């Protein structure tokens, strides 16, 4: 490809609205252009990278034994109603109607549709196990698209779904997908670690994310340096500090003027935060929820949302709290009725806690669960934090930021039962298939490749992802010997099966070299009067910056060695 003919434009200045390095470089290198919030157009060079990522994914999924299918992006809403997710997906689900007012959704994921396909084709245990996958466009009405290609409203996902006769064979399907993911990310040049994760709106039993650790990640990951435990903060388990044991004492109201926070109470009363009962307020699907948790802990909103089986969860501000008849800074569940009360396990176990008296500037001391108040539901809703003790070995957890690259789930029979995916076992009994789900976002993966492979000058593409194998820069092309040598080199490399991008523009050497560094193709050849005068062309490695003059007769062999296996 000659750059004089390429749809291509680089930017010299950093885009003002791009914060992540990957977002900045995607725009500066002219690989993508934003159409609207969360939607992007891919230019030719960007699309070549995208397709190479798709090819890596496809090759490894095929190698794992999965079979590729293609499923519609436009779904009858009845499928989502049948699974129960038309409501639980909330505003994330794009909805529309056809000319006959029939309801449809743009697929944010494909559990329902693949289950429909499986229900029509799987009949016997002899048809199982089977894993189906596709690389398809998804649509999610994200409230806050961010990070360029990291969080989009329209994006491409490789989603795979396994169907098995039982949990034992599901383990084998899950393991095959897991190993395929390890190979995919290794080939793409993105270092990842598997961590325990929440299943979210998809549901299921076991769930793991493949996380690329980066300061620019949107997820908090908790790691144990002692035993290697790793989990998303949404899912992480930890050992709570023990409660302060004591015999139950009589309930007493005390004046607490101006004391509205846990820190205020701790300082004024000379107590430990573990001796307080913190009130936190939420609206779940529009209804107020009172949450009680020990004062030294915070609420894990994902755990709370899952506990309530809510589609939408939002914190209540003081005005909302007052409108619900509660007293901000001095509320408790003592005497409270007509509202859902969720209690963390920590306040059920601990005796004699200080809690709000439900009137301004007053608190109760010595509140005890069961005697003074009860909850609608008791659950583990505490958020793990750095410094908390690892649930496995007790070592203090460490916090890192990370970017989710892939997610694998053991779904079980959630969708096979609701969508009618059954098979006849060897005894002739009808059983639901046991399912797994495995996803990778391709655009997000492309962003992560750049996050993991760049320097101050631009992108450094791994060999298997680069848009072209070789970047040829021609200088002084108005000189016939140089133009002839460039054409010879281009033909020589293409005959050897190497893809070549040729900078034949009339721009200065400085502009061409800056663009070459920005675009990040692993190997650059410079055809110039100086190099030809030294007996060849200049070969420069983008990653190391090392260069050498290579005779044309040795060029293909030298490039094949540098290029490595594909």
Instruction: Convert the pLDDT of each residue in 154-211 to its tens digit.
Output: 999 999 999 999 999 999 999 999 999 999 999 999 999 999 886 554 445 678 999 9
pLDDT at residue 130 is higher than 80: yes
Q: Are residues 173 and 206 in the same domain?
A: yes
CA distances from 289 to 336, 373, 375, 420 (A): 11, 15, 11, 35
- The band of 566, judged by pLDDT with boundaries at 50, 70 and 90, is very low
CB atoms inside a 10 Å sphere around CB 145? 21
Q: What are the DSSP calls for 269-332, one per residue?
A: HT--GGGBEEEEEEEETTEEEEEEEETT--B-HHHHHHHHT-S-EEE--HHHHHHTT--TTS--
Q: Enter the DSSP assignment of 240.
A: P
d(CA 389, CA 392): 9
Q: 379, 413, 442: which is the final residue of a domain?
A: 379
Instruction: Convert the pLDDT of each residue in 392-440 to its tens digit.
Output: 999 999 999 999 999 999 999 999 999 999 999 999 999 999 999 999 9
Instruction: Convert the pLDDT of each residue in 303-318 to its tens digit.
Output: 999 899 888 899 999 9
d(CA 424, CA 249): 61
User: Is the pTM of the predicted complex or chain greater than 0.85?
Assistant: yes
Mean pLDDT of all residues in 32-40: 95
Q: Are residues 106 and 154 in the same domain?
A: yes
Q: What percent of the chain has pLDDT over 90?
A: 89
Dihedral, 138, 141, 145, 149 alpha carbons, nearest 10: 10
Question: Domain containing 547 — which CATH number?
Answer: 3.40.50.800
The closest of 278, 255, 298, 291 to 353, measured between CA atoms, is 278
Flag whether 80 is in a domain.
Answer: yes
Counting every residue written for the chain, the total comes to: 566
Q: Are residues 74 and 188 in the same domain?
A: yes
CA distances from 254 to 45, 65, 257, 268 (A): 69, 68, 10, 12
Q: What is the pLDDT of residue 17?
A: 84
Coarse DSSP helix, strand, coil percentages of the chain, rounded to the nearest 5 percent: 30, 30, 40
CB atoms inside a 10 Å sphere around CB 483? 15
pLDDT at residue 234 is higher than 90: no
Query: How many helices (H) and strands (E) in the chain?
Result: 16, 33
Q: Are residues 439 and 364 in the same domain?
A: no
The closest of 186, 184, 163 to 173, measured between CA atoms, is 163
Q: What is the pLDDT of residue 87?
A: 86
Flag whether 3 is in a domain.
Answer: no
On the CB side of 130, CA atoms within 13 Å amount to: 21
d(CA 331, CA 259): 12
Q: What is the pLDDT of residue 565?
A: 39
Provide the domain limits for residue 102. 21-236+399-450
Q: What is the pLDDT of residue 205?
A: 62
Q: Are residues 225 and 282 in the same domain?
A: no
Q: Are residues 158 and 258 in the same domain?
A: no
The tally of domains found in the chain comes to 3
Flag whether 455 is in a domain.
Answer: no
ω into 129 cis (within 30 of 0): yes
Flag whether 389 is in a domain.
Answer: no
Flag whether 535 is in a domain.
Answer: yes
Question: Domain containing 136 — which CATH number?
Answer: 3.30.930.10
φ, ψ of residue 58 in degrees (nearest 5)? -65, -45
Flag whether 10 is in a domain.
Answer: no
Q: Are residues 354 and 446 in the same domain?
A: no
H/E stretch holding 487 reads: helix 480-495
Q: Taking CA 267 as the corner, what is the angle to CA 261 and CA 273, rounded to the nearest 5 degrees?
A: 65
């Amino acid at each position: 490809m000659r750059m004089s003919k390429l749809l291509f434009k680089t930017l010299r200045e950093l885009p003002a609205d791009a914060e992540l390095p990957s977002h900045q470089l995607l725009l500066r290198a002219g690989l993508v252009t934003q159409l609207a919030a969360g939607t992007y157009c891919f230019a030719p060079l960007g699309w070549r990278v995208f397709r190479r990522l798709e090819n890596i994914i496809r090759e490894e999924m095929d190698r794992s034994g999965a079979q590729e299918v293609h499923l519609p992006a436009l779904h009858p809403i009845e499928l989502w109603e049948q699974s129960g997710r038309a409501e639980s997906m909330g505003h994330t689900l794009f909805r529309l109607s056809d000319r006959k007012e029939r309801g449809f959704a743009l697929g944010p994921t494909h559990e329902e549709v693949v289950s429909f396909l499986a229900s029509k084709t799987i009949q016997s245990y002899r048809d199982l196990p089977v894993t189906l996958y596709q690389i398809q466009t998804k649509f999610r009405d994200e409230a806050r698209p961010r990070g360029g290609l990291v969080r989009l409203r329209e994006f491409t996902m490789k989603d795979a779904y396994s169907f098995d006769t039982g949990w034992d064979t599901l383990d084998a399907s899950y393991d095959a997908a897991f190993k395929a993911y390890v190979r995919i990310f290794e080939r793409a040049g993105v270092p990842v670690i598997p961590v325990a994760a929440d299943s979210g709106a998809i549901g299921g039993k076991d769930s793991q994310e493949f996380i690329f650790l980066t300061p620019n990640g949107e997820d908090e990951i908790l790691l144990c340096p002692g035993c290697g435990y790793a989990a998303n903060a949404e899912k992480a388990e930890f050992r709570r500090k023990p409660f302060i044991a004591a015999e139950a004492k009589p309930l007493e109201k005390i004046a607490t003027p101006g004391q509205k926070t846990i820190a205020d109470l701790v300082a004024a009363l000379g107590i430990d935060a573990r001796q307080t009962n913190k009130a936190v307020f939420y609206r779940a699907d529009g209804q107020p929820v009172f949450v009680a948790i020990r004062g030294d802990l915070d609420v894990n909103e994902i755990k709370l949302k899952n506990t309530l089986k809510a589609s939408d969860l939002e914190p209540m501000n003081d005005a909302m709290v007052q409108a619900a008849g509660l007293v901000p800074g001095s509320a408790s569940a003592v005497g409270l009725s007509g509202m859902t009360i969720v209690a963390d396990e920590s306040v059920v176990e601990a005796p004699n806690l200080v809690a709000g008296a439900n009137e301004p500037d007053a608190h109760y001391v010595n509140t005890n669960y069961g005697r003074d108040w009860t909850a609608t539901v008791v659950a583990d809703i505490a958020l793990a934090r750095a410094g908390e003790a690892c649930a496995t070995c007790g070592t203090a957890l460490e916090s890192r930021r990370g970017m989710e690259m892939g997610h694998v789930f053991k779904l079980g029979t959630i969708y096979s039962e609701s969508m009618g995916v059954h098979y006849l076992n060897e005894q002739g009994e009808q059983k639901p298939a046991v399912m797994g789900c495995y996803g990778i976002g391709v655009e997000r993966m492309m962003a992560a490749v750049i996050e993991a492979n760049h320097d101050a000058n631009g992108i450094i593409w791994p060999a298997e992802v680069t848009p072209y194998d070789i970047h040829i820069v021609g200088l002084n092309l108005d000189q016939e010997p140089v133009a002839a040598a460039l054409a010879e080199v281009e033909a020589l490399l293409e005959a050897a099966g190497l893809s070549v991008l040729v900078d034949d523009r009339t721009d200065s050497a400085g502009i061409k070299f800056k663009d070459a560094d920005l675009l990040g193709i692993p190997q650059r050849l410079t055809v110039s009067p100086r190099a030809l005068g030294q007996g060849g062309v200049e070969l420069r490695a983008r990653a190391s910056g090392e260069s050498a003059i290579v005779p044309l007769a040795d060029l293909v062999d030298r490039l094949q060695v540098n290029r490595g296996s594909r």
